[in-house]
Structure 1
Amino acid sequence: MAFELQRPHVAVACLLVMHYLAGVLSIPDPRKREALIQQEASMQTGGQVVLSDAEQRLDSLLFKMKQREVLGAEFPPALHFFKARDLIRTSPIFSLLQKMPKGGALHVHDFSMTDPEWLVKNATYRPHCYMCFTDKHSIRFIFSPQWPEPLPRCSDWNLLENLRAKTINTTELDDSILRNLTIFTDQDPETAYPSQDVVWDVFEQSFYALWGLVTYAPVFRDYYYQGLTEFYMDNVMYLELRALLPEIYELDGSTHDAAWTLKTYQDVTRQFTDDHPDFYGARIIFTIHRGVNISRMNGVVETAMKLQKDFPDIMAGFDLVGREDLGRPLWYFREALSLPTDRGVTLPFFFHAGETDLEGTEVDQNLLDALLFNTSRIGHGFALPRHPVAKEISRNRGVAVEVCPISNQVMMLVKDLRNHPAAALMSENHPVVISSDDPGMFGASGLSYDFYEAFVGFGGLRSHLGSLKQLAINSIRYSSLTPNQQEKALDLWQRKWDKFVSENSF
């Protein structure tokens, strides 16, 4: 009882002490607080961009849109993209981003750049198209004037023209083909893809499935033109494409080499820019799968050096592709990758590095090795914030990180895009560009979906129109274009940007 009676006196004593301390310490100066807030805001991507009056009006509209989005019942960046896509499509921010001139897409892969529905509706309806079913529940294609030779571990070939003639519901058949050419699913994605191993296996099977379609010469040309069209319609004016430069085959079975393939990319690009004068162009980064042996890598680097010399306008450089966690690290190929320097030959590198969550492994050192080999950019760089030395070198050298938000989420490196490491990179204006990696595989055509995830998910309410403007400028400044070409591209982009702002700042 005595204890209970003393408690009010203790409370009064505490209040007196707090009152005394408030007088001694005082509340921090609100002007200093505001200065710190402004200092942080100025450090983020686009924090130093000065907006015109029209841009400020558009920025105010964007901020109101984002406030509504953040307070909504479901926040798309917190959801798996396959669940969020329909929500994103209804977003006024997304609609605005579709209209926005986004500059260049600097990290896109050759046979996943185009909506696979185009392949189903176009390529598979062409004459002489055969399909078989594999024992891994996938499909394969080939174009042939006569019945093709059987493939190992595949059913008998079916001429699609005959198969469709016997099928009552061709839409159902087309939908089943489409499901094999993409990893997008209407099912619960966490159930469909319970691990990285599963999603990567399905991802690779999808590439095998479409291979026989896109490596057929007539389809190859049209597929690339269609891919450029999709990016152009999404207000992307420049593209750097990572391409395997595989053998391309004709109907009679004859094949073309890597030089022919690269020249075809060059010819189709020129045709597209002739047809669309406000599209600046495209360049190719020659790639090889990181699972090859040393002898094969030596030969490929030799080929890359020759192609760089013979096709300087279209050839941007060289890279390794494939799942980083299971592939050989860059250091394994150090002798082959040193050939250009040893011979005094210029072959720019654009290495995938840090597309992993395996800390401390040999693969996790790819970031440092990429920088040791003077990579021009870092593909993905998901692990970069865990490597302070690599991060500092990247910043000091101006080696931009090609961030692909949707790819990193779908391939199970991050669940909630608000937690993506690039959010921290952008908060300190680290060199960053946004790209879409494999948009055809993910049901994310073009670049606007990835811009949405970066703008709304990474930045929250802090990112603004200046952030978007800086990201678009970055995509040209950190491209493989020469300084003179960059200035021309920026002039073209600026005209598009001014038109976009004037039409939407009301």
Structure 2
Amino acid sequence: MAVQPQHLQAAVCLLLCFFTSGVSIPDPRQREALIQQEAHMQTGGQVVLTDAEQRLDAVLLKMKQKEIMKADFPPAMHFFEARHLIRTSPIFSLLQMMPKGGALHVHDFSMVDVEWVVKNVTYRPHCYMCVTDNHSIRFIFSSDWPKPLSHCSPWIHLESHRAKMINTTDLDNSIRGNLTLFTDEDPEAAYPSQGVVWDKFEQTFLSILGLVTYAPVFRDYFYEGLEQFYTDNVMYLELRALLPEIYELDGTTHGKDWTLKTYQDIARQFKANHPDFFGVRIILTVHRRVNTSVLTEVVEEAMELRRNFPDIMAGFDLVGREDEGKPLWHFRDALSLPAQRGVTLPFFFHAGETDLEGTDVDQNMMDALLFNTSRIGHGFALPRHPVAKELSRKRGVALEVCPISNQVLKLVKDMRNHPAAALMAENHPVVISSDDPAMFGASGLSYDFYEAFVGFGGIRSNIGSLKQLAINSIRYSSLTPKQQEVALALWQRRWDKFVTNNIF
């Protein structure tokens, strides 16, 4: 049960009394007051629970007590090894049903389960595949035999190739393995270093690009992505999108305006079919390895797109491995353009997704705050930067914490040791998201909520923590204050129904 404000005030007065009176023997009331004070400070600690929520919280506590005593405790394991255990957890089942609000950190071409891509995309007519020199794969849809691709084998027409095969399982498994990092092998052996896992990570994006940038697939992929998140009880998304050229079967292409409008049209169609889905907004991204002139052009495009598509265009970000990209300060002139011109272009910078303390990249969080970023993507390194940490708290700049991504990309092994655990203990602004769920063998948002709730919070986190995290995902979104109120009201109705339906 959450601590009531008047009870906290009484506890503080009691503590002051003890500390100023020179009492040397610990008193049970003093101990309880300290425990209650800490509980009040955590994420959700100030949430006043209804009777129904308290009853559900008691059920959750019993579930968690059983879970934490298991020999194979999922948050202490690599997600690839823990996934099957998580799927059998009653806590996970409950989290799947829970209305989680919004997913504010998801990338465009890693939101749909890879199994759907293999079965629903690579079996379409006119799909060609080749194998690169480094044993990755590339795809293209074409009405004619495609031109040879540099450093790739001759094109294979998949429909004809499969027709000659007795069993296509091995081929499909090979394609599937190239579109995800997930492996049934020992993940530590498969990915012994950050360099190895990031190389494979970036290759998976290059592999899927030719599939999802084909116009018919692009439309279907995005709709399916919304469907999968909606099924996982996510009511709103903010999608990081490259807005690449989208091509047709005859090779003609569409630019960013067409792509953004298509996102908008499909989102409206999805909302019409699912009235309790609140919507989608797009954050335009560019790879952080581009040069300054290219970044300047993209910032110019971002300002124009936001002017032309204010309802769906949320802002701008840089993506890619931070440790190998240029620091934000390198691009300060380009990133200053909107402010110099009096144009509003919100930033949502990836920053602090590193464990290389003291490098130029390690200052990205401070620079992100200097550029008035609306949120910080990942912020894994934030606890090592007390000034940036205090600034983000005072300004209400939330961290988009993506637990599974941080583990798979080798920033943390045991979720109990994730820096966000300490941040949530002091109610630092935090939202939970899933980054690239398809690449990690996950889906939607529930797996990451499980890792945060069971791993970060341990026994201490409760239904109030979950409720606050869901509320945070709306309060720290790019929606206007009025839109947030409408979204919160919609979410609250779903939340109340969820609580009522799960009181055993």
The residue type paired with residue 467 of structure 2 is K
Which 4+ stretches in 1 moved above 4 angstroms?
A: none
The residue type paired with residue 462 of structure 2 is H
Question: For 1:50-76, what per-residue CA distance to the aligned partner results, in whole angstroms no more than 9, with x for missing partners?
Answer: 111110000000000000000111110
Q: Does 1:273 align with 2:266?
A: no
Q: Does 1:222 align with 2:224?
A: no
Q: How does 1:418-433 map to 2 (within 5 A)?
A: 418-433=416-431
Instruction: State the match for 2:282 in structure 1.
Output: 284
TM-score (normalizing by structure 1): 0.95
Q: CA deviation at 1:153?
A: 0.7
Question: For 1:97-127, what per-residue CA distance to the aligned partner results, in whole angstroms no more than 9, with x for missing partners?
Answer: 0000000000000000111111110111111
Alignment match of 1:390 (pick from 388, 391, 394): 388
Instruction: State the match for 1:403 in structure 2.
Output: 401
Q: CA deviation at 1:348?
A: 0.2
Instruction: State the match for 2:445 in structure 1.
Output: 447
CA distance in structure 2 between the partners assigned to 1:231 and 1:461 by the alignment? 27
Alignment match of 1:252 (pick from 250, 253, 278): 250
Percent identical residues = 78
The residue type paired with residue 145 of structure 2 is W
CA distance in structure 1 between the partners assigned to 2:487 and 2:38 by the alignment? 31
Instruction: State the match for 1:318 in structure 2.
Output: 316
Q: How does 1:309-348 map to 2 (within 5 A)?
A: 309-348=307-346
CA distance in structure 2 between the partners assigned to 1:166 and 1:152 by the alignment? 27
CA distance in structure 2 between the partners assigned to 1:453 and 1:170 by the alignment? 35
Question: For 1:167-209, what per-residue CA distance to the aligned partner results, in whole angstroms no more than 9, with x for missing partners?
Answer: 1211221111101000000000000000000000001111111
Q: CA deviation at 1:25?
A: 7.4
Unaligned runs of 5+ in 1: 1-23
Q: Does 1:482 align with 2:473?
A: no
CA distance in structure 2 between the partners assigned to 1:265 and 1:172 by the alignment? 34
SS at match of 1:325: helix
Q: How does 1:17-416 map to 2 (within 5 A)?
A: 27-416=25-414
SS at match of 1:125: coil
The residue type paired with residue 162 of structure 2 is R
Instruction: State the match for 1:21 in structure 2.
Output: none
CA distance in structure 2 between the partners assigned to 1:120 and 1:304 by the alignment? 33
Q: CA deviation at 1:479?
A: 0.2
The residue type paired with residue 174 of structure 2 is S
Q: CA deviation at 1:27?
A: 3.0
SS at match of 2:324: coil
In the comparison of the two structures, how many residue pairs are matched? Answer: 483
Q: CA deviation at 1:26?
A: 5.7
The residue type paired with residue 398 of structure 1 is G
Q: CA deviation at 1:278?
A: 0.6
Instruction: State the match for 1:16 in structure 2.
Output: none
CA distance in structure 1 between the partners assigned to 2:75 and 2:36 by the alignment? 26
Question: For 1:398-436, what per-residue CA distance to the aligned partner results, in whole angstroms no more than 9, with x for missing partners?
Answer: 000000000000000000010000000000000000000
CA distance in structure 1 between the partners assigned to 2:95 and 2:355 by the alignment? 30
TM-score (normalizing by structure 2): 0.95
CA distance in structure 1 between the partners assigned to 2:131 and 2:170 by the alignment? 16
The residue type paired with residue 88 of structure 1 is I
CA distance in structure 1 between the partners assigned to 2:232 and 2:270 by the alignment? 15
Could you tell which deviates more after superposition, 168-177 or 453-462?
168-177
Instruction: State the match for 1:7 in structure 2.
Output: none
The residue type paired with residue 163 of structure 1 is H
